[in-house]
Amino acid sequence: MRKFLFAMAAAAALSTAQAEPLPGNAAPAFTASDLAGKPVSLADYKGKWVVLEWTNPGCPFVQKHYQSGNMQGLQKKYTGEGVVWLAINTTAPSSSDYLKPVALADWFKQQGAAPTAAVMDPDGKVGRAYNARTTPQMFVIDPAGKIVYAGAIDDKRSANVADVKTATNYVAQALTEARAGKPVSVASTQPYGCSVKYP
């Protein structure tokens, strides 16, 4: 019996490891609602490059990348090149940082943001599938549906707007290398920012 239980535990651990959202692994499938209440599925974008951006307007680290124009600049550049950019808000409705879809849409508009879609994840299912821990936290997914980058947006772990100019942007680097058919030189980093406000 003990051997059976050990085997079951080992199988469960292997299954969990295989599902881990790490570079080289398949990106977890998800369907969530955009700010207009329409469903958005990762499967809708099969065959395309996809960037996932975990966001929370109340977070100083997120504000750093929007106040500097960095995040919007990346969104506009890459969506203009055919990359799909999904901004995901995994903030519990009970959190003081929670914004209703209309308010979040207004905030994105005020920032001049240009994601392909902004997605609400109030129950935390998408965030947990990706083990999202901070805002911002970034993932780059290739056209085959595999993660090629996971982690921080850049190497300047601060909320200082001025740091954006001198930072190495890991997302831009990963997209440039991967789309050129090269190995991603930095495929995984420790994300930094505010903790995701899970329900």
Give per-residue pLDDT as tens, 14-35: 333 345 799 999 999 999 999 9
Complete domains list, the chain, with CATH: 21-195 (3.40.30.10)
Give per-residue pLDDT as tens, 135-176: 999 999 999 999 999 999 999 999 999 999 999 999 999 999
Torsion sign, CA atoms 116, 122, 125, 129: positive
pTM for the whole thing? 0.90
CA-nearest of 192, 115, 112 to 154 is 192
Which pair of tokens denotes residue 19?
């599902």
Predicted confidence at residue 138, as pLDDT, reads 98
Predicted confidence at residue 19, as pLDDT, reads 58
Give per-residue pLDDT as tens, 90-123: 999 999 999 999 999 999 999 999 999 999 999 9
Predicted confidence at residue 52, as pLDDT, reads 98
**pLDDT above 80 (res 76):** yes
Q: What is the 3-state secondary structure (H, E, C) of the chain?
A: CHHHHHHHHHHHHHHHHHHCCCCCCECCCCEEEECCCCEEEHHHHCCCCEEEEECCCCCHHHHHHHHCCHHHHHHHHHHCCCCEEEEEECCCCCCCCCCCHHHHHHHHHHHCCCCCEEEECCCCHHHHHCCCCEECEEEEECCCCEEEEEECCECCCCCCHHHHHHCCEHHHHHHHHHHCCCCCCCCECCCCCEECCCC
Predicted confidence at residue 3, as pLDDT, reads 42
| Interstrand relation of 147-151 and 137-141 (parallel, antiparallel or unpaired) | antiparallel
